[in-house]
Amino acid sequence: MVVYCDVDGTMTDAGAKGWGNPRPKVIAEIKKAIAGGHFVVVWSARGRRYAREFVRKYGLQGAWCMPKPNVLVDDNPDIRDAPHMRKLSPEQVEETGLGLPSK
């Protein structure tokens, strides 16, 4: 299985305000998933570096780290939107593209 797990508000009790207090049961389950050979990605809207710091601080060796996506393309309409992430269907991408800014 592939598990994506957010940091702030998920593995801690804080939103994007700082480290917050860890949620030991959630962290223990993520460690169990890693030990069980599952592919675990820890992500944060605060970026990859922040996710890596969290992984090191709480001993989640073996987890991959990445920032949360800004755009999600998926055919499942039940995946919830987030304020910082646009969710697009394949049909929307076909009709209007991704709508990414130029670099």
Tokens of 32: 């169990």
For 20-36, what is the mean pLDDT?
92
Q: Are the C-beta atoms of residues 7 and 15 closer than 8 Å to each other?
A: no
The pLDDT tens digits for 55-94 are 999 999 999 999 988 888 888 878 776 777 788 888 888 8
pTM: 0.78
CA 57-81-45 angle, 5° bins: 25
Query: Do residues 66 and 93 touch, judged by C-beta distance below 8 A?
Result: no
Domains of the chain, first to last = 2-68 (3.40.50.1000), 70-103 (no CATH)
pLDDT of residue 50: 93
Dihedral angle over CA of 4, 27, 62, 73, nearest 10:
10
Tell me how crowded residue 5 is: count the other CB atoms within 10 A of its CB: 19
